[in-house]
Amino acid sequence: MRMLKHLYVQVLIGLAAGIVVGHFAPSLGVQFKPLGDTFIRLIKMLITLLIFCTVAVGIARMESLKQVGRVGVKTLIYFEVVTTIALVISLVIANVVHPGAGLNVDPATLDASGVSRFMNEAHTQSQSNFLELIVPNSVVGAFARGDLLQVLLFSVLFGLALSIMSARSRLLLRSIEQFGDVLMRIVEMIMRLAPFGAFGAIAFTVGKYGIASLQQLGLLILCFYVTSILFVGIVLGAACRWAGVGLWPLLKYLREELLIVLGTSTTESVLPQLMEKLERLGCPKSIVGLVLPTGYSFNLDGAAIYLTMTSLFIAQATNTHLTLMQQLGLLAILMLTSKGGAGVAGAALVALTATLSSHQVIPVAGITLILGIDRVLNEVRAIVNMIGNSVATLVVARWEGEFDVETARAVLASPHDASTDEASPQERSPIENAMLRLPPRPTSKRSAQLKTFAATGARDAS
């Protein structure tokens, strides 16, 4: 029964129950969609405020503004290198396996009405330059929309201003830090609902799309899954070893977050808890607050694999031959379109539409071929994104010389996560909570004399 108190066990039960309901009662499973959506919205309502508190406080507590710039440059360099590796690996595997070969789909017979919304969104984004996308018209509007890039920009500027003001901003800095602590306590309460959110989301996915959609495009799904596993095991595993920890112990440590992302198909549902766990692992709060939220827009490794794989799948399925130069041109476009997808509904499909529209070789209407399995692909895509950003935080912290490797190894070596071993106030009985609040019993003079005598005798005996 003690195992049932662990959140990851509860999420596993929720996932299993959701799969059963979605498979055997599809119409009922679809009706549970609001459970998953509500859980994600509960987390998303706090994300922008948490990012603001973490980033602002983290930057304000850095030693100098030079350190902020140095961490930022190292972060972007790592993001670009790893994302490019993900693009190249998926390009090579798609050319070797040919997951779309043999379908012989005529692009003229495809109904493009299903992708018209994504085409409109892609066209709107292409008309806006990068600066317009990250600079908000209103700070309040950026927080209300949940635009992570714009909130991140304001948080960095606010943290720099706090750092410049130094002594005069101490009271405000302390207040923001305490406000962030309150938000984290709210997150802990919301995470109790994670099993229900995972149940509702996975029940909807299985009930809506079923097993038939998996069989129809099974080779693409298998190819994407295997590529993702290879990328995580080889590339991210090597990065983890360089940082000083093992990949498998890290994944075990983040098992709750991985299961929640698997059920909800979004990394935003675990961002607050992930930040707290990485800090506990030995990463400075300033680096966690700067690297992790930035990675949600600029380090989408899973999305990079997805975009490359699906682009070549559509080309192969429609018998669109691509020369080497055309594939390199596609790779260059993907290096741009795979960035900045945070906070956009259907961001991967919008990015795919923008990619094919810019490439002007692969038919955009071919996106209709993968609409039915996008949700299935999105689960692994989100998991790879989460693992990639977690590893990125460790690497940048180690690169900066501020990663406490000994603490990390001690935490990862423990059989259970410390946060799950200790019962929360909600799990303890009122009597247990009252006993914990009692002051320690004062030691009598006689007891103190006996303890001193015993200690002296032990020393004499040795």
Two structure tokens written together for 259: 């299961």
pLDDT of 405 over the 70 cut: yes
Q: For residues 259-272, give the mean pLDDT.
A: 82
| Residue appearing with tokens 């961002």 | 271
Distance of CA 136 to the CA centre of its chain: 24
Listed as own residue / partner, the contacts of 108-117 with beta carbons closer than 8 Å and 24 or more positions apart are 110/363, 110/365, 110/366, 110/368, 110/369, 111/365, 111/368, 112/364, 112/365, 112/368, 114/367, 114/368, 114/371, 115/349, 115/353, 115/364, 115/365, 115/367, 115/368, 115/371, 117/346
The model's confidence at residue 455, banded by pLDDT at 50, 70 and 90, is very low
Asked if residue 14 is part of any domain, the answer here is: yes
Which amino acid is residue 242, in one-letter code? W
The pLDDT score that the predictor gives to residue 459 is 44
Q: For residues 95-115, give the mean pLDDT.
A: 74
The model's confidence at residue 250, banded by pLDDT at 50, 70 and 90, is very high
Asked if residue 284 is part of any domain, the answer here is: yes
Asked if residue 196 is part of any domain, the answer here is: yes
pLDDT of 439 over the 80 cut: no
pLDDT of 421 over the 50 cut: no
pLDDT of 294 over the 90 cut: no
Which amino acid is residue 346, in one-letter code? G
DSSP assignments along 308-331, one per residue: HHHHHHHHHHTT----HHHHHHHH
Radius of gyration of the chain (CA): 25
Q: For residues 63-77, give the mean pLDDT.
A: 83
The pLDDT score that the predictor gives to residue 298 is 80
- The residue that leads in pLDDT, 402 or 266, is 402
The pLDDT score that the predictor gives to residue 449 is 45
The pLDDT score that the predictor gives to residue 416 is 55
Asked if residue 338 is part of any domain, the answer here is: yes
The pLDDT score that the predictor gives to residue 84 is 92
pLDDT of 451 over the 50 cut: no
Measured distance CA(362)–CA(436) in Å, rounded: 65
Q: For residues 295-304, give the mean pLDDT.
A: 85
For residue range 328-352, what is the model confidence (pLDDT) as tens digits? 888 888 887 777 554 444 567 777 8
The pLDDT score that the predictor gives to residue 415 is 53
Asked if residue 401 is part of any domain, the answer here is: yes
Q: For residues 84-97, give the mean pLDDT.
A: 92
The pLDDT score that the predictor gives to residue 398 is 94
Asked if residue 315 is part of any domain, the answer here is: yes
User: Which range among 39-48, 252-261, 381-390, 417-426 shows the weakest confidence by mean pLDDT?
Assistant: 417-426
Q: Residue 214 in 3-state DSSP? A: helix
The pLDDT score that the predictor gives to residue 229 is 94
For residue range 141-154, what is the model confidence (pLDDT) as tens digits? 888 887 777 888 88
pLDDT of 367 over the 60 cut: yes
For residue range 189-231, what is the model confidence (pLDDT) as tens digits? 888 888 888 888 888 877 876 665 555 577 888 899 999 999 9
pLDDT of 74 over the 50 cut: yes
Q: Can you give the residue range of the structural domain that contains 28?
A: 9-415
- The residue that leads in pLDDT, 362 or 451, is 362
The pLDDT score that the predictor gives to residue 392 is 95
What are phi and psi for residue 402, nearest 5 degrees? -120, 15
Asked if residue 449 is part of any domain, the answer here is: no
Q: What angle do CA 358, 316, 98 make, to 5 degrees?
A: 125
Asked if residue 426 is part of any domain, the answer here is: no
The model's confidence at residue 285, banded by pLDDT at 50, 70 and 90, is confident
**What's the total number of domains in the chain?**
1
Q: For residues 59-78, give the mean pLDDT.
A: 82
Q: In this prediction, what percent of the chain has a pLDDT beyond 90?
A: 19
Task: Give 136-187 as a 3 state SS string.
Answer: CCCHHHHHHHCCHHHHHHHHHHHHHHHHHHHHHHHHHHHHHHHHHHHHHHHH
Q: What is the CATH number of the domain that holds 103?
A: 1.10.3860.10
Contact 398, 244 (CB under 8 A): yes
Q: Residue 377 in 3-state DSSP? A: helix
pTM, whole model, 2 decimals? 0.73
Contact 261, 34 (CB under 8 A): no
Q: For residues 249-273, give the mean pLDDT.
A: 86
